[in-house]
Structure 1
Amino acid sequence: MSDRTTAPGPGRPKDPAKREAILGAAQVLFLANGYEGSSMEAIAAEAGVSKLTLYSHFRDKEALFCDAVKSTCETRLPRSLFLLEPGRTMEQVLLAIGTAFQALVNSPESIGLHRVMVAMATQNPALSRLFFDAGPQRLLGDLEALFAEADRRGLLVAPAPLSAAEHFCSLVKGGAHFRLLIGYSDEPTADEAERHVREVVSLFLRAYGPGAAGKPD
């Protein structure tokens, strides 16, 4: 039976397992071979699907790349982390987000992807923008919404929530992330990572907490 007769047609539900296999294969090959070195044919073969099936899920390589980045972020930083639920303090929310974010950005997969994007920056700046919008910008947007809501509730003093989001991310990444990017050091141990996140959250709350010295009149 040909690919054309077995692949999902218009209106027919697509197989989520095949979509996950394609995303997983894309992540492996983009990291191993870079963006330009990873063809749709190779990704289809790695995923164990036909090209027709691959294109039924993703219209082109850029769309696949963006969805692979989004999938990684959604798995490692689920939207539930950014909810101000009853019984959770602001410190607990920030610790959970900081821990998950640090684990993501310092992971071998993320470091490899950042290196790919730095290498592509001058060759394909449009792809770099797609990457930023699919990954880092999504996180900043979620944090901005969280900090704006926390400001409204009086849990934080964050009249410029996007700036607060950028400050928080920069603090969590710290110097360790850059050292990892250039291969200067190994990933922090679990104890080192936990201690760093706790220090960051403490510092952030001193700057943005309700009793912060810089609280506007």
Structure 2
Amino acid sequence: MPTPDAGASDRPAAPRSAGRGRPPDPAKHAAILAAARRLFFSGSIQALNIEAVARASGVSKVTVYSHFGDLQGLIRAVVLLQRSEMTAALDDLPSGQRGLRQALIELGCALMGFLSSDDYVALQRMLASLAGQENWLGTLVYRDGAEATRDRLAARLAEASARGDLRAHDSRLAAEQLLGMWQGIQTTGLLSGGCPRPNAEELRRRVECGVEVLLRAYAPEGMDRKIDRSV
């Protein structure tokens, strides 16, 4: 199976035309995407195919193809939708230390909620088992998931720097540092079964601590001791 086009749009897939004079059905599009997501995070690549998705969503295979093109297009749509939901806090990043802090905390809680979920663990174990066999899948998930999330966060940090809310810095490195502080060694523990899944309170505490470190490290000159922690 060929590698997906790296130049394709990173927005969640919109319904394709179902044929001349037949507009695409948004309800069917949503049903197909929901079914594909369930199968994608089931942890079994064998369960994820066009026929299974069509059966689970109550449509024909032709309908699935007409909406998403092929299996890679369908999987990419699932990845983009998941990423869009997790990074919604970055859509309209507010100005000022208080607004920036709250938006980053919202992003971190959404992201860490997913990265500690059974869905994520099942996906990572599946990708590890397929390493060297279905390389296109791991490349797609990394490029359109983790890497694109890092880049989107970096872009927002760069905008904050341009506004004067943060001092000038390497925004891509800062984004990786923040994501790394949030995750710590948790993923290793969850994948190996060596640690229990953290609860929401533990995740939020980790997220808030990471945000505090970043805001202090890149606070504008003279403001590093005046960070507003109110939310």
Aligned pair partner of 1:83 in 92, 95, 110 = 92
Deviation at 1:194, TM superposition (A): 1.5
Mark the CA change 1:176 to 1:30 in structure 2 (over 3 Å): closer, same or farther.
same
Deviations 1:140-159 (A, max 9, x none): 12111101111112212342
Alpha-carbon distance in structure 2 between the residues aligned to 1:20 and 1:140? 27
Q: Distance in 2 between matches of 1:77 and 1:32?
A: 23
- Which residues in structure 2 correspond to 1:14-163 (within 5 Å)? 14-32=24-42, 34-78=44-88, 80-86=89-95, 88-163=98-173
Shifted more, 189-198 versus 118-127: the winner is: 118-127
Contact 1:106 1:180 in 2 (8 A): yes
Q: Which runs of 5+ in 1 are unaligned?
A: 1-6
**Alignment partner of 1:89: what SS?**
helix
Q: What letter matches 1:18 in structure 2?
A: K
2:194 is the counterpart of 1:184: yes
- 1:208 equivalent to 2:218? Answer yes
Report if aligned partners of 1:77, 1:100 keep a CA contact under 8 Å in 2.
yes
Measure, in 2, the Cα distance between the counterparts of 1:208 and 1:42: 49
The structure, 1 or 2, with the larger RCO (C-alpha pairs under 8 Å, 6+ apart) is 2
**RMSD after superposition:** 2.2
Deviation at 1:33, TM superposition (A): 5.1
- Deviation per residue, 1:184-208 (Å, 9 max, x gap): 2222112211211111111222222
Counterpart amino acid of residue 171 in structure 1:
M
What is the CA distance between 1:24 and its match in structure 2? 1.4
* Structure 2 runs not aligned, ≥5 long: 1-16, 226-231
Distance 1:158 1:112, change over 3 A: farther
Whole-Å Cα distance in 2 between the matches of residues 136 and 34 of structure 1? 21
Aligned residues: 206
TM-score for the superposition, normalised by structure 2 = 0.81
Runs of 4+ in 1 over 4 A off after TM superposition: none
AA partner of residue 85 (structure 1):
P
Which whole-Å deviations, capped at 9, do the CAs of 1:77-112 have from their partners, x for residues lacking one? 22x434332575322122111111111211211222
Q: TM-score, normalised by structure 1?
A: 0.86
Of Structure 1 and Structure 2, the greater helix share is in 1
Q: CA–CA distance in 1 between the matches of 2:29 and 2:196?
A: 33
What fraction of aligned residue pairs are identical, expressed as a percent? 35
Q: Give CA-to-partner distance per residue, 1:38-79, whole Å, 9 cap, x none.
A: 22111110111111111111111111111111111212322x
Aligned residue number for residue 3 of structure 1 = none
The alpha-carbon distance between structure 1 residues 158 and 65, as it changes in their structure 2 partners (threshold 3 A), is farther
